[in-house]
Structure formats: structure tokens, C-alpha cells
Structure 1
Amino acid sequence: MNNDWIDVRHSPEYQIETIHAHFEGHAYDAHWHDSYLVGVTQQGTQQFHCRRNKITSTPGDIFLLEPGEIHDGDAPIEGGFTYQTFYLSPEWLDREIRHLFHDTPSSYELSFAKTLNSDPRLAQAIAQTFQLLHFGEFRIVQQSALDNLLAHLAPHIHWRAEASAAHLALGCAHLAREYMHAHLNEDLSLQELAAATGTDRFTLTRAFKQAFGIAPHAYLVQLRLAEARIRLSQGEKPVQVAAELGFADQSHLGRWFRRAYRLSPAQYRQICTNLPD
């Protein structure tokens, strides 16, 4: 018997998604998001890999992930695990933090010091803010709760120097990533990617895994899925999204989308837009 469930809400005003979910056994395959994840484990034991470490989160633990950080999810103990999490857009989070704290540096980007944290006050702020956003409280109440959440999140934030364009141009791995972003809807081969970066496919694969912890083909799939989420949330139909992002058909998109997010593209589109498929 499968007791897994997931409840997703989308707030276009704040560029935030709230997710309340329960999984037993294998939860989801390795993937990444283009958002910051701020969440708390409510029940059970959640286990996942991130930053090349195996992380175990138990009730009250807070997990903080940056955009692009690869992670998976499993329930190693009978009964599974339940969690609440926010997906915060980088643009929104950076803007709000700079509004709250006037001494933030101008040429740096937000970074989380640790993936797993124990902070009861932050955990309480997550729970309170989640309820208000997920179930649609008055906007002024939501905004006050978000400010309180960010104030408690601030001690866990570091400022990391942004990589310069010259630095990003070094190394075939970074060049390959830039090439995939520019050609994400094309049926790229490893040979083509290697040729575009001036190396061979074996060297490229090794360098890419070392730099980003994931193979080039897996990164391209995740890149397409991230773009699919954006387009579906704007009301585009799954069949159109699949065709424009290089998937063979809607079913092909659906298989990858479910593996990463445990929702079908149509379900995600309906959650974000209230439009029928």
C-alpha cells in the first residue's frame, strides 16, 4: 500500500511555492531546483544526499538548499517522513534580504552555511509562515510572517562572492554548462558538447562530475525540467512544453517530471494556474 501524498500551492505574488508532503521508502531521484529550499522535517526520518554527504533529518531539523544543489530523498525507517518546505525564488529572496538588512554587500550572492540545522525559533517561523501562505491568510499577515521568517533565516545566510565572467570561462565543465543553457531544447550529444568546449567526451564527463557532482546528460534533463516548471506555472500545456524543450512527447516529459517532483506536469500546471489540462 502506497501512503505517499503531496500538497503543493503556488503564490505568484511572492514567487514562492509551499509543499507539504509525506513519503515512505524511496521519495525522489537525484535532482535540483532553480530556487532556494527552506524546509523542516515534521515526522519520521528523512535521508538525502547533498554536497557529497549523506544527511539524516529528524523531526524539528531544518534543511536549507541553494539553487542547483543536487539532492535525492528516501525514508530509511518504516513509517516514512513528513515535511514542509518553501521554494523561494533567488530574485525574491535577494531583494527581500537587501530590504531588511541595509548593510548587505552589492556584489555577492546568498549562500547557506550548512544544509542541516537545528534552530527551534526558525523551525517555528517556518511552520507559522507555511500555514499562512499555504492556506491563504490576509496579505498583510502573510507579509509580516515572511519578514519574521527572513529575520530568523538571516543568521544561517552567508554572502558568497559572485564568480566573475572570466572565472566562469575557465574549464570545459563551465563552458559545457553555459552551452547547455543556450541550447537546452536541442538533442545534444556528448560529442557535440565536447567539441563546443574543445575537449573529448570522456574528459568532459569527468570534469563535469567533479565540478557539479552530476553527469552532463543528467544536468541537461534537470535544466529542462526546471524550465518546464516555469512554463507550466505560466499556463503552457504539457504537450507544448514537451515539444519545445526537446522531450520526445508528453509522456516522455511526464516520466521525468514525476521522478523528480512526484507530480505529473498536468497536476503541477493545474496547481499553479487552476486551468484544466
Structure 2
Amino acid sequence: MQVFSREKAADHSAANAIAGALDDPLERSCEEKDRIVVAPELAGIERIEARFRGKGFEPHRHDTYALGVTMAGIQTFRYRGEARFSPPGNVIVLHPDELHDGGAGTEEGLTYRMIYIPPERFLPATAGRGRTLPFVATPVVDDPRLAGLLLDAIGSMDETIEPLKLDEIVGEIASALLDHAGAPQARAGRLARPEVQRACDFLRENLSRQVGSAELEAVTGLDRFALSRQFRQLLGTSPHRYLVMRRLERAKALITAGETIAEAAFASGFADQAHLNRHFKKALGMTPGRFAALAAGHRN
């Protein structure tokens, strides 16, 4: 197994995610009415997209981490006695139980996305890097990788996220917050090649269904956060990403053999054809329909 640079791959992915999100006409529109869109409930994690002009919220507190990305306009708020300003692409980091308000800093209005993560979700991921939860003193940070992670976790607002993917993202968000808080780095330790190989084998054998983090922990003997780090170090990807790519391999094989796209999606573990379409185009640069047409031409 080859060892890859986690930071290089993550930064590239984050840049693509931010560019795509900021280019979306939904975020760029300044003519829309004020609104808040609330995504489906996600294992106790709340996700919203908000658009408004002027003052949005009076001073209030959350008992969660409030983490967000400014999508358009200037986001302004008072936090720990100071006025703060966030331009598009920057990340907002609000610690639990900290008083703050919120509003648009210009007449053009503001669009932002936020995710509210209960602090107990971070406790397993922060073990070994300090005894307290990460406190980021600067609530506005310019961190493309963290912004990409948050946008990935927030998703498209109308979908849920597979449990395995959610666990991985929460772990990576926790690690990024610890970095910004100045927590000591976790020691790398040994490379768990046999454990990662067992996880790969298990994912290949079970790609047609949802796989949970607890199952991989039982198979490998590693906790979910250690396993995710080992995947990054050894394979340059995450367990969930590895699972998705194996699903795409099966879908391509089935489409090449003449199966319909809907049949290939179902047999490969995707929720539906639209789910396959999104992952297929993102990973392979073309739609399954285009691929099917090319494969049919080759058979003929």
C-alpha cells in the first residue's frame, strides 16, 4: 500500500467543494426574499441555509458548536465583546454557550450555511489531544479545508448522509478545530496495514448495503477515528469514499454488461438512480447515461 499526502488531497477536494457552492446561482442571488431552509434531521445534528438582509438574530446562545460558511455577502455578528465580519468562503466557529447575534454587513444581504454539532459528538475524536473540547479563539477563520468539510457535511439540504460518511466528517471537523485551537498533534504511531486491508475486504463484500462505523470497528479492532486516519495515510482516501468508488466499479460493470442505470444503481448500493448519477459524474466526469451510450456503442 502506498502512503499519500492527506493534506494535499483534502485541500484539493475542499477547493472544488467551495468553488462549486459559491458558483451556485442560489447563493449568488441578491434578489431572493429572506428565508431559512432547514435540512432533514441528521442524528441530532441540525443544518440550515439562511438568506436575509439587515439584522437576522438578536443575541442568543446555542448548546452546540455552531459552524458555518459564508456563501455570499458579508456576515457580521458580535461575539465575546467584539464585532466580527466574515466574507464569502470564510468559516464561522462559535463555541457552545457563547452569546452572539447575527446579520448582514451590507445592503446586498447575506447567504450562509450552518451546521450545529452537539459537543459530545466530538469527544471520541478529541481523545489524546487535550482533555477539553477545542476552543477556537478567532471565530472567523480562512480555512478552505475546513470550509469544504462543513459544506460536505451540510450537503444539498434536501438529503440525509450515510452514517459512515457522517462519522468521518465529524472526526475531521473535530481535528481541524483542534488544530485551530492549538491542541498538540496526535502521534502518528504505526501504520495499520492489516487492519486497513480487512476493512477494504469487508467494504467490498458489503458494498450493496449501508455499512456502519461500528461494523468496521468490530472487523478491524480500531476505533472509527483511528481507522479513518489510517485510511488517509495508507490509501489517500476515507472508508466511505473507498466504499463509494467500489460501488461505482460495480455499477460500471453492470452498465457495460447491458443492465439499465436504475438496475445498476440498486445492485450497487446506491439509494436510487439520482444518487448514482451524482457520484458517477463527480468521480468519472460524465453521466451514467453517457457512459451507457459509449459502452453500448462498443458492444455493437
TM-score normalised per structure 1: 0.50
Pick from 144, 168, 175 the counterpart of residue 144 of structure 1.
Answer: 168
> In the aligned structure 2, how far is the partner of 1:109 from the partner of 1:146?
14
TM-score normalised per structure 2: 0.46
Contact 2:47/2:115 (<8 A) preserved: yes
Pick from 78, 85, 95 the counterpart of residue 49 of structure 1.
Answer: 78
Residue 129 of structure 2 is matched in structure 1 by 104
> In the aligned structure 2, how far is the partner of 1:143 from the partner of 1:109?
17
1:87 is displaced (CA, Å) by: 0.8
Question: Is residue 2:184 matched to residue 1:155?
Answer: no
Structure 1 residues 130 and 12, CA gap change in structure 2 (3 angstroms): closer
Pick from 121, 124, 131 the counterpart of residue 95 of structure 1.
Answer: 124
Residue 152 of structure 2 is matched in structure 1 by 128
Structure 1 residues 116 and 2, CA gap change in structure 2 (3 angstroms): same
Contact 1:66/1:112 (<8 A) preserved: yes
1:132 is displaced (CA, Å) by: 6.7
**Match for 1:105: what amino acid?**
G
Pick from 84, 105, 122 the counterpart of residue 113 of structure 2.
Answer: 84
> In the aligned structure 2, how far is the partner of 1:97 from the partner of 1:10?
27
> What's the secondary structure of 2:57's corresponding residue?
strand
Gaps of at least 5 residues in structure 2 are 1-30, 184-300
* Bigger share in strand: 1
Larger Rg: 2
Structure 1 residues 50 and 25, CA gap change in structure 2 (3 angstroms): same
> In the aligned structure 2, how far is the partner of 1:140 from the partner of 1:12?
13
Using the TM superposition, name which of 57-66 and 133-142 deviates more: 133-142
Q: Any idea what the Cα deviations from partners look like across 1:243-277, whole Å, max 9, x if unmatched?
A: xxxxxxxxxxxxxxxxxxxxxxxxxxxxxxxxxxx
Question: Is residue 2:39 matched to residue 1:9?
Answer: yes
> What's the secondary structure of 2:135's corresponding residue?
strand
> What's the secondary structure of 1:110's corresponding residue?
coil
> In the aligned structure 2, how far is the partner of 1:25 from the partner of 1:132?
25
Q: Any idea what the Cα deviations from partners look like across 1:114-145, whole Å, max 9, x if unmatched?
A: 11111111111111221178621322233333
Q: Any idea what the Cα deviations from partners look like across 1:198-246, whole Å, max 9, x if unmatched?
A: xxxxxxxxxxxxxxxxxxxxxxxxxxxxxxxxxxxxxxxxxxxxxxxxx
**Match for 1:4: what amino acid?**
D
Q: Any idea what the Cα deviations from partners look like across 1:44-77, whole Å, max 9, x if unmatched?
A: 0111111110011110111111111111112131
Q: Any idea what the Cα deviations from partners look like across 1:167-221, whole Å, max 9, x if unmatched?
A: xxxxxxxxxxxxxxxxxxxxxxxxxxxxxxxxxxxxxxxxxxxxxxxxxxxxxxx
Tell me the percent identity: 29
> What's the secondary structure of 1:151's corresponding residue?
helix
Residue 97 of structure 2 is matched in structure 1 by 68
> In the aligned structure 1, how far is the partner of 2:171 from the partner of 2:119?
16
> In the aligned structure 2, how far is the partner of 1:30 from the partner of 1:5?
19
Structure 1 residues 91 and 130, CA gap change in structure 2 (3 angstroms): same
Using the TM superposition, name which of 112-121 and 4-13 deviates more: 4-13
> In the aligned structure 1, how far is the partner of 2:72 from the partner of 2:157?
21
Q: How many residues were matched structurally? A: 153
Residue 19 of structure 1 is matched in structure 2 by 48
Using the TM superposition, name which of 84-93 and 128-137 deviates more: 128-137
Contact 1:44/1:77 (<8 A) preserved: yes
Contact 2:71/2:88 (<8 A) preserved: yes
Residue 266 of structure 1 is matched in structure 2 by none
RMSD: 2.3
